[in-house]
Amino acid sequence: MATDRIVASVGPLVPRARPTGATVASDYWALTKPDVNLLIAITTAGGFCLGARTDLSPLQGLRLLHALAGTVLVAGGAAALNQWMEHRFDARMRRTARRPVASGRITPGRARAFGTLLSFAGVAYLLASAGVIAALLATVTLLAYLLVYTPAKRRTPLCTLIGAVPGAMPPLIGWAAAAGRLDAEAWMLFAIVFLWQLPHFMAIAWMYRDDYDRAGYRVLPVGKARAQFVTNQTLLALVALVPVSLLPLVAGYTSALYCLGALILGLGFADCGARFACALSATTARQLLLASIVYLPLLFSLLIAR
């Protein structure tokens, strides 16, 4: 913008304020994507509570806190490393240009070091407090997110399906931390989070499709196939999500109250998805995104309450 060039031209005459300690801390905090980590913590807790099979004892409650701390550390490290890897692309997008690394407030080297430290600390913490399986699952999640999903975003629209795999791992980590193993029922929770991610990300991809195109991300097909791709991923996932979300009841882990809540949430989420598919617009995409943000924490809160 012209105003940006004017400000830049008088930069030497107006000294840039040095960042305060609070500002720097805020930037590093933002680097971990705390809003995403909240959802990760909720789904991890859901996996733990169902994996424990009974009401939590004080000792199990402490183990849950350990599992949450380790998982969130790994997730924060992955977020920081992702922003280090993609900072040049993030700088081209209005949605992400103000992120700490993309904007230059944190150097790429420091972001890489910070992310690496958090990731190693998280895996080590899980290994010491939640067991080998939980630590191994966290490691696989980290590597799949950074080495498979992140580069796939610039190569194929199937990146959404690829990224939904590491994105659905937190409940498995929680389950393994509680039970010391992965039971077949743990994959019910994996399936719920996997399917939830597809309409959630389709809403984001549609809202910021021009941004993604500008940055060179291939999260959506080009041309006429784009609308059909978004519609298919949204509707198929939501149609499957309603019955899949009821599997914990079928397996005997939850009550009829959970069933009622899951049905209401699922049908409301599906309604927003249908409106979005029928009229692809920024408004319907925003409504679907909001519905997805409401759906997942409420559903897992019902699972935890049982």
The reply to whether 11 falls in a domain is no
> What is the domain extent for residue 159?
25-305
The reply to whether 202 falls in a domain is yes
Average pLDDT over residues 199-205: 97
Half-sphere exposure of 153 (CA within 13 A, CB side): 21
Q: Scanning the structure block, which residue is given the tokens 């099979």?
A: 53
The reply to whether 246 falls in a domain is yes
Q: Which of left, alpha, beta for 33 (phi over 0: left; psi -120 to 50: alpha)?
A: left
The reply to whether 233 falls in a domain is yes
Angstrom distance (rounded) from CA 207 to CA 197 = 15
Burial of 58 (0-12, 13-18, 19+ CB in 10 A): exposed
| Whole-number pLDDT of residue 53 | 83
The reply to whether 15 falls in a domain is no
| Whole-number pLDDT of residue 252 | 85
For residue 134, pLDDT beyond 90: yes
Q: For the segment 86-115, what is each residue's pLDDT rounded down to a tens digit?
A: 999 999 999 899 999 999 999 999 999 999
For the ranges 8-17, 50-59, 279-288, the maximum mean pLDDT occurs at 279-288
Angstrom distance (rounded) from CA 128 to CA 150 = 29
Per-residue pLDDT band for 57 (boundaries 50, 70, 90) equals: confident
The reply to whether 14 falls in a domain is no
The reply to whether 228 falls in a domain is yes
Angstrom distance (rounded) from CA 177 to CA 60 = 10
The reply to whether 58 falls in a domain is yes
Q: Domains in the chain: how many in total?
A: 1
> What pTM does this model have?
0.90
Contact 193, 167 (CB under 8 A): yes
Average pLDDT over all residues of the chain: 92
- CATH value at residue 36: 1.10.600
